[in-house]
Amino acid sequence: MQSIKRAALILIGNEILSGKVQDLNAQHLIKRFREWGVDLARIAIVQDRIEDIASEVRLVRDAFDFVITSGGIGPTHDDVTYDAIAAAFGVPLEMNAEIEQCIRKSRKETVIKPEVFRMAKLPKGSVLVPGGDLGFPTTKFNNFYILPGVPQLFRIKIDALADVFRSEPFCLHTLYLNSDEGSIADLMGQTEKEFGVQIGSYPIFNSPLDYRLRITIEGKDPKPVKAAADALCLALKDRLVRRDPA
């Protein structure tokens, strides 16, 4: 069995923190990484400040297999993601000829303002990953994949990278119980430790549903996941409403 790949997402933009723009990219990445068998273990939202972004980059760069950034790679003064990543790793920015050419092909005007070419100044050592029919490749630096913040573009870019991230899928079993979680907290903790799986507990309040508690058991290896679910079903048979898969 493959080890679980762990990832972090850094959302960059004052507009998200101020509420002027609602983030949609985290929602999309959560769904995709779950489908692809990647453990999205951290999501951070930071302002368009080099110091703030660089601080978060330093925090996550060695702790995760992949780091996705969203936003801050346009031509305006507050697009400082490349600057921050370069600062965090202690490397200079350098003009990338391929991105420069992409910019020239994408613009209609005869004279292109110099500010537009900010988008072509990448951290030294960056590589370009093709994919997503947008005319621009994705920039990869170290274990960072640097994506645009516009949701439509982000979705196209991340979906084009599916083969880069895809791993063995998660196996999930769900139990529905007539029980409060406090009375079985010790049992869940012991079972998680014994079988090496992840167990989540989600109570339901004031609901017409036929259960009061939903428990999820998951992991990459189906055998211990099923064994843990079987053990819990046996121990909680008087409270079990149903299980999925049955």
The pLDDT tens digits for 92-119 are 999 999 999 988 888 777 778 888 899 9
Secondary structure (H, E, C), the chain: CCCCEEEEEEEECHHHHCCCCCCCHHHHHHHHHHHHCEEEEEEEEECCCHHHHHHHHHHHCCCCCEEEEECCCCCCCCCCHHHHHHHHHCCCEEECHHHHHHHHHHCCCCCCCHHHHHHHEEECCCEEECCCCCCCCEEEECCEEEECCCHHHHHHHHHHCHHHHCCCCCEEEEEEECCCCHHHHHHHHHHHHHHCCEEEEEECCCCCCCCCEEEEEEECCHHHHHHHHHHHHHHCCCCEEEEECC
CATH 3.30.930.10 fits 171-244, yes or no: no
Highest mean pLDDT (candidates 3-7, 84-88, 105-109): 84-88
Percent of the chain surpassing pLDDT 90: 88
pLDDT at 1 over 50: no
The pLDDT tens digits for 223-241 are 999 999 999 999 999 999 9
Q: What is the mean pLDDT of the chain?
A: 94
Q: Name the CATH superfamily housing domain 5-165.
A: MoaB/Mog-like domain (3.40.980.10)
Q: For the residues 140-145, what does the mean pLDDT come to? A: 98
Domains of the chain: which residue ranges?
5-165, 171-244
- pLDDT at position 101 is 92
